[in-house]
Amino acid sequence: MTEHKMDPVQEQEGRSAPSPRAPQREKAAPVRRVGSITLGIVLVMTGALFLAYYFLPGFDWQLAVRLAPPLALMAMGVEVLFFASRPGRWKYDFLSVFSGLVLMGGCFCLAMLPAVWEELNPQHRYEREMLCRSYEVQMYDALAGVEQEVPLRNMEVYLDQLDALEVTLELYGPYETEAEFAQDCRLLLDAFSELQPRAVSFYWTDRSDPDRGWTGCDLTLSSPVQMDWNADQMAEQVSGYGWKFGDPELPEETEEQELLPEEPLGTEEA
């Protein structure tokens, strides 16, 4: 038998040819866990707030904890929309979402804690009452000279959450036009403008004719720009209720006519 000799070139190609292997399996795409990014952002923000509170003397931490929950919810919503609009495998990370909600709830409780403490703290309530009485005394002193020209029916003094002054004045009247009412409002406002109230409300109610119902007008000023209005500008913002200025009077009700009794139907003559 003769041995078959391989060509050196073929022998070299046979040695260099790779041995057949099983096809490699494609790696599955990783599952995206929605909520992890938001949790990381919330943790970073929480740490930054603590650092700012300790190292920045004028840092308003109450405003920060009030803004933290809505910003965190917006970040979570953006993350959900981003992954929902992209093809791929993703699922909610329950632990991350739950932790983020707990941190947001804690920020909300911290934001409400000062207001609750102010209501429950007897010392703070006492100080607010004394401050309110002090404003009331100053209001009466300021209006002592003007009250003869513009008589008042009632005055109420309030304090908002920031202990700013709010005043409600009921004028005695009567008034025929918006300009007359606005002119008296301007005189009263000039009398106590040094107290710098945050909001002032004027109103007048006409009780002269109970049968027609209560009518009147009101004006509310709630900004420094409105406080500087003149009487003409105030007159444009006066709003009336019930019977407005310039409305025609209703015709007086006519007396009911006495109805004559109906004559009985006559019978036909036979």
Tell me the per-residue pLDDT of 195-204, one tens digit each, with 9 for 90 and over. Answer: 889 899 999 9
Which residue in the block uniquely carries the two structure tokens 């929902």? 84
Domains of the chain, residue spans: 32-120, 127-241
* pLDDT score for 125: 77
- Burial string for 149-169 (b: 16+ CB within 10 Å, else e) reads ebeeeeeebeeeeeeebbbbb
Given pLDDT bands bounded at 50, 70 and 90, which one contains residue 268? very low
**Taking the mean position of all CA atoms in its chain, how far away is CA 20?**
72
| pLDDT band (50, 70, 90) for residue 10 | low
Which helix or strand (DSSP H or E) is residue 98 part of?
helix 94-120
Q: Please, are residues 199 and 221 in contact by the beta-carbon 8 Å criterion?
A: yes
Return the closest-CA partner of residue 78 out of 29, 30, 31, 35.
35
Topology given in CATH for the domain delimited by 127-241 = Diaminopimelate Epimerase; Chain A, domain 1 (3.10.310)
Q: DSSP letter string over 49-86?
A: HHHHHHH-TT--HHHHHHHHHHHHHHHHHHHHHHHHTS
Q: Would you state the structure tokens that stand for residue 61, as one six-digit string? A: 């931490």
CA distance 86 to 83: 5
Region 220-244: mean pLDDT is 85
If one compares 85 and 156, the residue with the highest pLDDT of the two is 156
User: Stretch 66-94: mean pLDDT, rounded?
Assistant: 76
104 pLDDT tier (thresholds 50, 70, 90): confident
146: Cβ contacts below 8 Å, ≥ 6 apart? 187, 188, 191
- The predicted structure's pLDDT at residue 229: 92
Q: Across residues 44-70, what is the average pLDDT? A: 78
Least Cα distance to 79 among 65, 69, 91, 68 occurs for 91
* pLDDT above 70 as % of the chain: 69
Q: Are 160 and 131 in contact (CB under 8 A)?
A: no
Q: What angle do CA 201, 204, 207 make, to 5 degrees?
A: 150
3-class DSSP state of 259: coil
In this prediction, residues 72-100 reach a mean pLDDT of: 76
Residue by residue, DSSP assigns 110-173 as HHHHHHHHHHH-HHHHHHHHHHHHHHHHHHHHHTTTTTTTS-EEEEEEEE-TT--EEEEEEE--
More confident residue, 66 or 209: 66
Band of residue 115 on the pLDDT scale cut at 50, 70, 90: low
Residue 36 in this model has a pLDDT that exceeds 90: no
> Which range has the worst mean pLDDT, 16-30, 55-69, 244-258?
244-258
Average pLDDT, integer, range 17-24: 52
**Angstrom distances, CA of residue 52 to CA of 38, 104, 106, 158:** 21, 18, 18, 35
Most confident of 57-66, 140-149, 235-244: 140-149
N- to C-terminal Cα distance for the chain? 162
Check whether 9 has a pLDDT greater than 90.
no
What average pLDDT does the structure give for the chain? 75
Higher pLDDT, 103 or 227: 227
| pLDDT at residue 224 greater than cutoff 80 | yes
